[in-house]
């Protein structure tokens, strides 16, 4: 190791020791810590609630703006910026401090919520949902980083469980609350964020005190130079182009159209530019390429996208199925969603406890991904004559499958990464999770819109203009006076919607194949590993050197794979 590297590590070690002493002197406890945690949980509740509260109101929103054929944009417009900006906001929070980024993100989210509730047309709704997504992209990573700053490593597991409980509360309450509000005034689905976010802001302003943990102190304009703006811009643009192509392909434009092909080509070119910038030009790249060298981590990232796609395709399109196939109100459809969401959360808690006791997490992925594929296959068998018991049972299977996996994604990220790269692995898993959410909505939308027109044309007596109206306004079902025709149209909708559940079958199978490459259990850790993890959380994100004698199973695996390839 060179003298410059020795000097750098010495400085980092000194900074970490000084920071630890400072943290012990300023660590908050008691009622103030409780109030800070409440404010952080309310902040996270904004994001978790908004991900599921909209789904049960989609038919009502589509009818208001006559836009069923584009209704997936209500979700995509939110998820797309939230996905593409995740890594950038994590970087900003590590440089400028968690509190500043969190407060700005919440304010942005609330502005988007207020404007979305006041939207007068579908375009305005989608634009304001994108503003919400930008704010949401900064909330989630800032909250997790703030918790890592406020509590010790030993206490962190307890508070992460509370975070999981908060997220579960928002996810389960969302469809029910959304259904109730959709029955009265769907605009309150967005306005409800305002009191929650305002309370979180007040508590954060008053009680949250977190020093800037970056070891590179200096003027803010000097700190800005650490951000890989070129890599961030090309990466975000690449993600946007890819998702637009999947969103428009087969719906607005044929898959073979020049626009769709051009979007895919541009996405690939921009991704290659991002890789080149990260590899050759940037000292602190937005996309850390060495995090993909390990086979287990690469397989995990693919599995994350597949699992998240399956989960969100179900969350997004099941409420529409219930309202169209069963004729349920939004409130009832939201309550029926609990058959999927409750198993997700219950099995997530149980599997997390088992993994914490045994250290074995691979078996959870194998079980979970198999359940997702089987549950999705069962859901494709649903018809308008299927009883509610069958609908509930099939959801329980797929929900349990997601539950086995969803919390353990981050366990697998930590287990497969060297200790001083844990936060980088977690950040990538978080990004790929949201990327999967967006892909799930896009794939489901493409399948639904392509098959709906086919079923309406071939199984009903509707003329061309009526078919077009049905594709835009699901409420027209209620206006069909002929019971026989109404049943045919409802059956066409149900047949098209159940095809979206093929996403679960395909993604579950892909995730199962990827799970075969994961490590079986969490590797043993030492106090040195904890220290390295702490430095990764609060120090220089490019500090990838290990102290002499410190090795980790993930690092050993990487060396073995490189030797084999050589």
Whether 29-210+220-226 and 289-439+501-538 share one fold: the answer is: yes
Q: Is the pLDDT of residue 518 over 80?
A: yes
Q: Is the pLDDT of residue 367 over 80?
A: yes
Q: In which residue are the tokens 């149980």 written?
A: 350
Q: Is the pLDDT of residue 529 over 80?
A: no
What is the reported pLDDT for 432?
85
Which superfamily does 29-210+220-226 belong to? MFS general substrate transporter like domains (1.20.1250.20)
What is the reported pLDDT for 222?
67
180-229: per-residue pLDDT in tens?
888 888 899 999 999 999 998 998 888 877 655 544 455 666 666 777 77
What is the reported pLDDT for 563?
45
Percent of the chain whose pLDDT exceeds 90: 15
What is the reported pLDDT for 306?
93
Are 189 and 54 within 8 A, CB to CB? yes
Sign of CA dihedral 206, 210, 211, 216: negative
225-237: per-residue pLDDT in tens?
777 778 778 888 8
Q: How confident is the model at residue 400 (pLDDT cuts 50, 70, 90)?
A: very high
Q: Which long-range contacts (CB under 8 A, 24 or more apart) does 484-490 make?
A: 485/460, 485/461, 487/384, 488/459, 488/460, 488/461, 489/456, 489/460, 489/462, 490/324, 490/325, 490/327, 490/384
- Summary mean pLDDT of the chain: 77
Q: Is the pLDDT of residue 371 over 80?
A: yes
Cα–Cα dist 97/517, whole Å: 37
Q: Is the pLDDT of residue 6 over 50?
A: no
Round the CA-based radius of gyration of the chain to a whole number and report it.
24
Are 497 and 391 within 8 A, CB to CB? no
What is the reported pLDDT for 316?
81
Burial status of residue 207 (CB atoms within 10 A of its CB: 0-12, 13-18, 19 or more): middle
Q: Is the pLDDT of residue 3 over 50?
A: no
Helix (H, G, I), strand (E, B) or coil at 521: strand
Which range is least confidently modeled, 123-127, 209-213, 299-303, 402-406?
Answer: 209-213
What is the reported pLDDT for 112?
94
Which range is least confidently modeled, 210-224, 257-271, 387-401, 415-429?
Answer: 210-224
Distances in whole angstroms, Cα of residue 43 to Cα of each of 36, 131, 144, 334, 360: 11, 16, 11, 23, 32
What is the reported pLDDT for 475?
66
Cα–Cα dist 189/146, whole Å: 28
Query: Most distant CA pair in the chain: distance in Å?
Result: 85
Cα–Cα dist 201/43, whole Å: 8
Write phi, then psi, for 360 (nearest 5 degrees). Answer: -90, 115
Q: Which residue has the higher pLDDT, 516 or 469?
A: 516
Cα–Cα dist 44/40, whole Å: 6
- Which pTM was predicted? 0.73
Helix (H, G, I), strand (E, B) or coil at 320: helix
What is the reported pLDDT for 372?
94
Cα–Cα dist 505/326, whole Å: 23
Q: Is the pLDDT of residue 247 over 80?
A: no
Percent of the chain whose pLDDT exceeds 70: 78
Average pLDDT value for residue range 342-370: 85
What is the reported pLDDT for 270?
92
What is the reported pLDDT for 303?
92
Q: How confident is the model at residue 155 (pLDDT cuts 50, 70, 90)?
A: low
For the chain, the distance separating the N- and C-terminal CA atoms, rounded to the nearest angstrom, is 23
Write phi, then psi, for 253 (nearest 5 degrees). Answer: -130, 150
Are 505 and 392 within 8 A, CB to CB? no
Q: Which residue has the higher pLDDT, 248 or 477?
A: 248
Q: Is the pLDDT of residue 22 over 50?
A: no
Q: Where are the domains of the chain?
A: 29-210+220-226, 228-285, 289-439+501-538
Q: How confident is the model at residue 562 (pLDDT cuts 50, 70, 90)?
A: very low
Cα–Cα dist 507/440, whole Å: 9
For Cα atoms 39, 41, 47, give the angle at the middle one, nearest 5 degrees.
115
Q: Is the pLDDT of residue 148 over 60?
A: yes
What is the reported pLDDT for 107?
95
Q: How confident is the model at residue 10 (pLDDT cuts 50, 70, 90)?
A: very low
What is the reported pLDDT for 505?
92
User: Which of 141-150, 372-381, 540-549 holds the top average pLDDT?
Assistant: 372-381
Q: Is the pLDDT of residue 543 over 60?
A: no
Are 533 and 273 within 8 A, CB to CB? no
Q: Is the pLDDT of residue 2 over 70?
A: no
Q: How confident is the model at residue 161 (pLDDT cuts 50, 70, 90)?
A: low
Average pLDDT value for residue range 545-552: 40
Helix (H, G, I), strand (E, B) or coil at 253: strand
What is the reported pLDDT for 542?
42
CATH code for the part of the protein at 289-439+501-538: 1.20.1250.20
Q: Which residue has the higher pLDDT, 276 or 32?
A: 276
């Amino acid at each position: 190791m060179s003298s410059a590297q020795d000097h750098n590590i010495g400085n980092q070690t000194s900074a970490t020791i000084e920071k630890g002493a400072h943290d012990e002197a300023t660590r908050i406890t008691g009622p103030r810590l409780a109030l800070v945690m409440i404010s952080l949980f309310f902040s996270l509740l904004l994001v978790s609630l908004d991900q599921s509260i909209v789904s049960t109101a989609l038919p009502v929103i589509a009818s208001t703006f006559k836009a069923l054929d584009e209704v997936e944009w209500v979700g995509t417009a939110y998820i797309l910026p939230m996905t593409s900006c995740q890594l950038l906001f994590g970087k900003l929070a590590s440089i400028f401090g968690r509190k500043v980024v969190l407060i700005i993100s919440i304010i942005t989210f609330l502005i988007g919520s207020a404007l979305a509730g006041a939207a007068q047309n579908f375009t305005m709704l989608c634009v304001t949902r994108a503003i919400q997504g930008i704010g949401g992209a900064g909330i989630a990573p800032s909250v997790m980083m703030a918790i890592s700053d406020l509590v010790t490593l030993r206490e962190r597991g307890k508070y992460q469980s509370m975070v999981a409980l908060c997220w579960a509360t928002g996810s389960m309450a969302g469809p029910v609350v959304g259904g109730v509000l959709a029955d009265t005034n769907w605009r309150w689905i967005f306005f409800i964020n305002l009191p929650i976010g305002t309370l979180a802001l007040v508590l954060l302003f008053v009680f949250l005190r977190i020093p800037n943990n970056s070891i590179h102190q200096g003027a803010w304009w000097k700190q800005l130079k650490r951000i890989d703006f070129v890599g961030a811009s090309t990466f975000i643009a690449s993600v946007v182009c890819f998702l637009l192509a999947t969103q428009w392909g087969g719906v607005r434009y044929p898959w073979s159209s020049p626009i769709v092909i051009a979007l895919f080509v541009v996405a690939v070119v921009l991704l290659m530019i991002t890789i080149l910038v990260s590899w050759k030009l940037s000292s602190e790249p937005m996309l850390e390429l060495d995090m993909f060298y390990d086979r287990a981590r690469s397989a995990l990232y693919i599995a994350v996208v597949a699992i998240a796609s399956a989960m969100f395709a179900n969350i997004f399109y099941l409420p529409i199925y219930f309202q169209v196939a069963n004729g349920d109100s939004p409130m009832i459809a939201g309550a029926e969603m609990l058959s999927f969401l409750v198993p997700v959360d219950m099995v997530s808690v149980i599997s997390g406890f088992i993994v914490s006791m045994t250290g074995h997490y691979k078996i959870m992925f194998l079980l979970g991904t198999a359940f997702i594929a089987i549950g999705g296959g069962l859901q494709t068998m649903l018809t308008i004559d299927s009883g509610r018991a069958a609908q509930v049972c099939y959801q329980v299977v797929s929900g349990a499958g997601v539950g086995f996996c969803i919390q353990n994604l981050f366990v697998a990220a930590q287990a497969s990464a060297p200790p001083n790269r844990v936060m980088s692995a977690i950040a990538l898993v978080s990004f790929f999770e949201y990327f999967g959410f967006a892909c799930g909505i896009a794939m489901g939308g493409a399948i639904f819109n392509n098959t709906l027109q086919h079923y309406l044309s071939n199984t009903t007596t509707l003329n061309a203009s009526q078919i077009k109206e049905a594709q835009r306004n699901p409420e027209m079902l209620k206006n069909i006076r002929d019971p026989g025709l109404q049943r045919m149209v409802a059956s066409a909708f149900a047949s098209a919607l159940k095809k979206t559940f093929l996403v679960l079958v395909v993604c579950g199978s892909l995730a199962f194949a990827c799970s075969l490459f994961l490590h079986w259990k969490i590797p043993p850790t030492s106090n040195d590993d904890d220290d390295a993890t702490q430095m990764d959380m609060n120090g220089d994100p490019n500090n990838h050197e290990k102290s002499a004698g410190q090795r980790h199973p993930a690092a050993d695996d990487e060396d073995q794979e490189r030797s084999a390839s050589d």
